[in-house]
């Protein structure tokens, strides 16, 4: 699913209408209906609804939603910010649809109307509000009545459902917050997400629903010159059932290399995640001193002991051991880095391993943690051309890789990740708020799952294992495999948070909820694509 700018969304609508013959009011009718269905599905217990409509097409969507909600038996009160004679085109037709159902429209055409008995009574008894004041076509800041309404809604505690965007949020914004916008508990947008949906925390939490509804535009009309897409669409690679005659050899062999004295948990968690995500076989190659700890995590895990140095680190001498060559011959994905440390002998080992697999283009490589810090000093080892190599840095690690400051990374996340991926022909998973996946061809995917509870040690190790397992099972659509891995990781954490608290959530709790993430069919929940959050009934 492509992510669009406001201009690209307008062009999509134009192409849909002019080239594909879809009537503009049909798009509005479908958009308003989608909002109403969402409210009826997710907030079925809310009977008294206030719909706030602007004078433009966003308000037209609101009139349609009000019509459908009233048809469904809800008590709906509609307020128009302006005068009815200001309504034109499709918005006027939507207004007439509402009026044809004997619907009243209360006018908020001057400031004193906000103090009037009709408005005060409606807001006092409201159980839910639909925000259809302004949408994609309006640039902030809000003024006049819209700004006054924003302040009123901020003091009330019923749910607010935003039509397209929370009013006052710039559709082209990449900022996580928009203090000047309406609050929203859920967002229903149409056709494709805009930049603000992909990067903004519109619902005021990491778990509030944000969904995309199809309204009639064909996929061919939805084009992004930004080369941006959403990670969740890649999950379709897992939505084909495994054949009945499956065997473990069909789903890849992941080799996790990591660990040091005092750091046995990192390779253990990466290995656990790889197995839970579906890799056919997983082997952990760790220093002999921590082998027992890693092997004790789960009986399904195979292990191989590596000679260690005086500090419990992986020794460089392991490179001459024939057992590594024998193991690499059976490896589909090499995941290296969790818990390694950066001792000189370990650095020599990591660089030697990268040389060893350089001639084995069939082996995908995932580098994380200390492996990233080591290759940051030896970027000539990043030989991604012709093979799948994935780097999973947090902003600090990305800063070391790119030779910039962490602040620069955060200020230029998209451009920097893209540039590094293209230059070194690797896939970069730049972790953080709205994790980015930059590919060697310049395309960029944005992830919208996950929550603040993941800000704990071990989360990166879990992601490494999930990425490796997805690549092991789907080496051909490798780009989609990495994107699906990031999406599934965040979605599993979102499921875990439904039973936990952000403070108590552990990295391994995420693994325990991977099954629910796999079963969550994003396209089957009311016909919407769930970019963030999930249905309340789940």
**Is the same domain home to 26 and 130?**
yes
Higher pLDDT, 538 or 387: 387
Check whether 110 has a pLDDT greater than 50.
yes
**Is the same domain home to 489 and 376?**
yes
> What is the average per-residue pLDDT within 24-46?
97
For the chain, percent of residues with pLDDT exceeding 70? 99
- Residue 267 near residue 294, CB atoms below 8 Å: yes
Note the pLDDT of residue 523: 47
Which residues, including other chains, have CB under 8 Å from residue 408's CB and lie 6 or more apart?
Answer: 399, 416
pLDDT tens column, 383-401? 777 789 999 999 999 999 9
**Is the same domain home to 217 and 257?**
no
Note the pLDDT of residue 521: 66
Kind plus residue range of the DSSP H or E element containing 493: helix 478-497
* Residue 246 included in any domain: no
Predicted confidence band at 524 (pLDDT cuts at 50, 70, 90)?
low
Strand 389-391 versus strand 529-532 pairing type? unpaired
Last residue of a domain, one of 191, 226, 261: 226
**Is the same domain home to 528 and 380?**
yes
> What is the average per-residue pLDDT within 364-390?
92
* Residue 241 included in any domain: no
> What is the average per-residue pLDDT within 431-460?
96
Q: Measured between alpha carbons, how far is 368 from 271 in angstroms, rounded to an integer? A: 13
Check whether 17 has a pLDDT greater than 70.
yes
> What is the average per-residue pLDDT within 37-63?
97
**Is the same domain home to 277 and 169?**
no
Predicted confidence band at 298 (pLDDT cuts at 50, 70, 90)?
very high
Number of neighbouring beta carbons within 10 Å of residue 273? 32
**Is the same domain home to 92 and 187?**
yes
Kind plus residue range of the DSSP H or E element containing 445: strand 444-446
Note the pLDDT of residue 101: 84
Cα of first residue to Cα of last residue in the chain, in angstroms, is 24
Check whether 187 has a pLDDT greater than 50.
yes
**Is the same domain home to 201 and 262?**
no
Predicted TM-score (pTM) of this structure: 0.95
Over the chain, what is the mean pLDDT? 95
**Is the same domain home to 263 and 403?**
yes
* Residue 41 included in any domain: yes
Task: Provide the domain count of the chain.
Answer: 2
Check whether 522 has a pLDDT greater than 70.
no
* Residue 399 included in any domain: yes
pLDDT tens column, 278-295? 999 999 999 999 999 999
The pair of structure tokens assigned to 88 is 């034109």
The pair of structure tokens assigned to 459 is 């989360």
Range in 239-243, 284-288, 350-354, 509-513 with the lowest mean pLDDT: 239-243
Note the pLDDT of residue 192: 97
Domain span at residue 146?
Answer: 6-226
Cis previous bond, 167, omega within 30? no
* Residue 36 included in any domain: yes
Last residue of a domain, one of 226, 244, 279: 226
Residue count of the chain: 538
Note the pLDDT of residue 451: 94
Helix, strand or coil, per DSSP, at residue 134: coil
Last residue of a domain, one of 180, 207, 226: 226
pLDDT tens column, 257-267? 999 999 999 99
**Is the same domain home to 138 and 275?**
no
**Among 255, 235, 387, which Cα is nearest to 332's?**
255
Radius of gyration of the chain (CA): 26
- Residue 470 near residue 482, CB atoms below 8 Å: yes
* Residue 537 included in any domain: no
> What is the average per-residue pLDDT within 234-260?
95
**Is the same domain home to 182 and 306?**
no
- Residue 149: give its domain's CATH number: 3.40.50.10260
Check whether 417 has a pLDDT greater than 90.
yes
For the chain, percent of residues with pLDDT exceeding 90? 91
Q: Measured between alpha carbons, how far is 186 from 210 in angstroms, rounded to an integer? A: 6
Q: Measured between alpha carbons, how far is 336 from 174 in angstroms, rounded to an integer? A: 33
Note the pLDDT of residue 323: 77
* Residue 338 included in any domain: yes
**Is the same domain home to 325 and 432?**
yes
**Is the same domain home to 270 and 196?**
no
Check whether 86 has a pLDDT greater than 90.
yes
* Residue 237 included in any domain: no
Note the pLDDT of residue 383: 77
Check whether 199 has a pLDDT greater than 70.
yes
């Amino acid at each position: 699913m492509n992510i669009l700018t406001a201009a690209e969304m307008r062009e999509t609508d134009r192409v849909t209408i002019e080239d594909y013959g879809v009537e503009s009011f049909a798009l509005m009718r479908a958009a308003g209906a989608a909002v109403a269905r969402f409210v009826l599905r997710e907030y079925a217990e809310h009977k008294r609804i206030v719909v706030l409509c602007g004078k433009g097409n966003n308000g037209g969507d609101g009139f349609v939603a009000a019509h459908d909600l009233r048809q469904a038996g809800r008590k709906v009160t509609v307020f128009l910010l302006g005068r009815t004679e200001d309504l034109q085109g499709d918005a006027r037709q939507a207004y007439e649809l509402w009026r044809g159902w004997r619907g009243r429209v209360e006018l908020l055409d001057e400031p004193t109307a906000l103090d009037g008995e009709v408005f005060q009574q409606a807001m006092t008894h409201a159980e839910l509000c639909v925000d259809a004041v302004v949408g994609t076509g309006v640039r902030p800041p809000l003024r006049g009545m819209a700004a006054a309404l924003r302040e009123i809604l901020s003091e009330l505690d019923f749910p607010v459902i935003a039509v397209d965007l929370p009013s006052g949020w710039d559709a082209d914004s990449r900022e996580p917050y928009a203090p000047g916008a309406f609050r929203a508990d859920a967002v229903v947008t149409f056709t494709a997400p805009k930049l603000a949906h992909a990067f903004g925390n519109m619902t005021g939490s990491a778990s509030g629903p944000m969904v995309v509804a199809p309204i009639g535009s064909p996929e061919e009309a939805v084009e992004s010159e930004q080369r941006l897409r959403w990670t969740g669409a890649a999950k379709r690679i897992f939505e084909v059932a495994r054949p009945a005659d499956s065997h473990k050899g069909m789903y890849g062999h992941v080799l996790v290399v990591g660990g040091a004295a005092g750091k046995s948990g990192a390779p253990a968690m990466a290995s656990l995640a790889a197995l839970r995500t579906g890799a056919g076989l997983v082997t952990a190659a760790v220093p002999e001193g921590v082998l027992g700890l890693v092997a004790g995590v789960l009986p399904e895990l195979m292990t191989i002991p590596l000679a260690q140095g005086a500090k419990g680190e992986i020794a460089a001498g392991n490179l001459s051991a024939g057992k590594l060559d024998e193991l690499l011959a059976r490896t589909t994905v090499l995941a290296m880095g969790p818990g390694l440390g950066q001792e000189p002998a370990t650095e020599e080992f990591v660089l030697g391993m990268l040389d060893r697999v350089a001639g084995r283009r069939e082996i995908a490589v995932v580098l994380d943690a200390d492996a990233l810090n080591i290759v940051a000093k030896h970027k000539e080892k990043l030989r991604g051309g012709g093979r799948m190599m994935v780097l999973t840095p947090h902003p600090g690690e990305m800063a070391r890789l790119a030779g910039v400051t962490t602040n620069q990374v955060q200020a230029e996340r998209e451009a920097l990740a893209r540039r590094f991926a293209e230059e070194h022909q690797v896939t970069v998973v730049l972790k953080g708020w709205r994790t980015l996946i930059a590919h060697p061809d310049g395309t960029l995917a944005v992830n919208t799952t996950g929550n603040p509870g993941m800000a704990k040690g071990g989360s990166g190790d879990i992601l490494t294992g999930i990425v490796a397992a997805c690549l092991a099972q789907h080496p051909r659509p490798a780009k989609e495999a990495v994107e699906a891995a990031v999406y599934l990781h965040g979605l599993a954490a979102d499921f875990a948070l439904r039973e936990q608290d952000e403070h108590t959530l552990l990295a391994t709790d995420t693994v325990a909820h991977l099954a629910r993430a796999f079963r969550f069919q994003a396209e089957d929940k009311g016909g919407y694509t769930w970019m963030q959050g999930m249905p309340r009934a789940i």
